[in-house]
């Protein structure tokens, strides 16, 4: 399949594996790229720029196909050493970066000078237009269904994607609720040039997470996610568990008392250390972990090759048989 995204990133299939904290390692990124998509290593999962450099080198050993690195710009008192992470990306020969979080504008010149192409994650049309205006090559448009941070506008993809298509000139991919060939065909019909999947890739053989996590995703339904941190205007979609229900209880109790929720009230339940316990050690109630509503469409744990093969076969069948047959 040929789209503006496959052309831009020199990939065979318009499917991107989004950056995910404590999931986006070389094992998964290389498997996605070897299957014809675009795999993504998550930079800030690596403790230091030197660790990222080693992870990039490891990924090069596992694939000769293009892969990218996710670099999320976070609001923090002690910022990560972003220039050094960018040096590791450039020195490692990576030519695609997925940016997320805050505006990446101050870092774009260095990346652009090195010939790196940028795709920025956005949860609204206005943010996508801003990304276009500062020189991003593409954007990922993340609907309300997505795992992680869906923004504060609560616009689902049936509205967000065609609105993005009306406004944007640069290529964009859909994100949030994407799982299969139906997702891909629907995304293309709504104006996107491909799709980004996060949660779906966690339930693959190569994803370096505990088997409990994969079994939980297969068992989950579309009704099992929750939105936390809404009072902080830092909304995150997560899979329900004991820690998440405790967070929601704290938020409710604070609201009833007329008090504002602070991050310190829930820090012990959303900290990265607790996230790692879930994803790497399989302690499923240890803390909150990002998960999209797409969990309801996850019924198996294939290899990345099997998953992408099935997606493309289903998409081609839908386009050539079902949709064309409706034209009479």
Sign of CA dihedral 71, 77, 81, 83: positive
Residues 166 and 227 in one domain: no
Q: What is the average pLDDT across 263-269? A: 94
- Do 198 and 308 belong to one domain? yes
Same domain, 173 and 79: yes
Q: pLDDT tens for residues 109-166?
A: 999 999 999 999 999 999 999 999 999 999 999 999 999 999 999 999 999 999 999 9
Alpha carbons 119 and 4: distance in angstroms, whole number: 13
Whether residue 262 sits in one domain with residue 190 = no
Would residue 233 count as lying in a domain? yes
Contact call for residues 279 and 5 (beta carbons, < 8 A): no
Q: What number is the average pLDDT over the span 72-82?
A: 83
Q: Please return the burial class of 249, using the count of CB atoms within 10 Å of its CB with bins 0-12, 13-18 and 19+.
A: exposed
Host domain of residue 70: 4-208+303-325
For 93-113, write each residue's pLDDT tens digit: 999 999 999 999 999 999 999
pTM for this entry:
0.97
Count other Cβ atoms within 10 Å, centred on residue 267: 10
Burial class (CB in 10 A: 0-12, 13-18, 19+), 256: exposed
Report the pLDDT averaged over residues 31-46: 98
What is the pLDDT confidence band of residue 328, given thresholds at 50, 70 and 90?
A: confident
CATH number at residue 162: 3.20.20.70
Query: According to the model, what pLDDT value does residue 76 have?
Result: 65
Alpha carbons within 13 A on the beta-carbon side of 98: 28
Judgement on whether residues 113 and 12 belong to the same structural domain of the protein:
yes
Whether residues 113 and 195 fall in one domain: yes
Residues 6+ apart with CB under 8 A from 320: none
Question: Both 77 and 198 in a single domain?
Answer: yes
Mean pLDDT of the chain: 97
Q: Looking at the predicted structure, is the pLDDT value of residue 294 above 60?
A: yes
Supply the pLDDT for residue 75. Answer: 73
Same structural domain, 164 and 248: no
Residue 237 CA to residue 230 CA, distance in Å, equals 10
Instruction: Please measure the distance between the N-terminal and C-terminal CA atoms of the chain and give it in whole angstroms.
Output: 24
| Residue 305: predicted pLDDT | 98
Does 17 or 273 have the greater pLDDT score?
A: 17
Q: How far apart are CA 39 and CA 197, in angstroms?
A: 10
Alpha-carbon span 57 to 189, nearest angstrom: 38
pLDDT in tens, 208-260: 999 999 999 999 999 999 999 999 999 999 999 999 999 999 999 999 999 99
- The model's confidence at residue 78, banded by pLDDT at 50, 70 and 90, is confident
Measured CA to CA, the distance from residue 215 to residue 129 in angstroms comes to 39
pLDDT in tens, 179-209: 999 999 999 999 999 999 999 999 999 999 9
């Amino acid at each position: 399949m040929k789209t503006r995204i496959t052309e831009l990133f020199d990939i065979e299939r318009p499917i991107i594996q989004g950056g995910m904290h404590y999931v986006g390692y070389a094992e998964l990124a290389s498997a996605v790229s070897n299957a014809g998509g675009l795999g993504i290593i998550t930079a800030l999962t690596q403790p230091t720029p030197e660790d990222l450099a080693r992870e990039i080198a490891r990924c090069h050993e596992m694939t000769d196909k293009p892969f990218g690195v996710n670099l999320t710009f976070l609001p923090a008192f002690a910022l990560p050493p972003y220039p050094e992470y960018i040096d590791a990306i450039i020195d490692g020969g990576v030519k695609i970066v997925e940016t997320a979080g805050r505006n990446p504008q101050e870092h774009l010149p260095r990346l652009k000078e090195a010939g790196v192409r940028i795709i920025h994650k956005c949860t609204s049309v206005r943010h996508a237009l801003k990304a276009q205006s500062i020189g991003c090559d593409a954007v990922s448009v993340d609907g309300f269904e997505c795992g992680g941070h869906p923004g504060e506008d609560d616009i689902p993809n049936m509205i967000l994607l065609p609105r993005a298509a009306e406004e944007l000139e640069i290529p964009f991919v859909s994100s949030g609720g994407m799982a299969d060939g139906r997702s891909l065909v629907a995304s293309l019909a709504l104006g996107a040039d491909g799709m980004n999947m996060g949660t779906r890739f966690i339930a693959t053989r190569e994803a370096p997470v505990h088997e409990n996590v994969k079994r939980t995703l297969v068992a989950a339904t579309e009704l099992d996610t929750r939105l936390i941190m809404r009072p902080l205007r830092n909304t995150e979609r997560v899979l329900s568990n004991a820690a998440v229900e405790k967070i929601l209880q704290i938020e409710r109790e604070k609201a009833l008392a007329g008090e504002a929720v602070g991050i310190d009230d829930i820090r012990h339940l959303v900290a990265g250390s607790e996230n790692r316990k879930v994803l790497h050690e399989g302690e499923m109630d240890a803390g909150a972990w990002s998960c999209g509503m797409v969990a309801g469409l996850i019924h198996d744990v294939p290899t990345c090759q099997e998953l992408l093969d099935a997606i493309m076969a289903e998409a081609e069948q839908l386009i050539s048989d079902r949709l064309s047959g409706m034209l009479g």
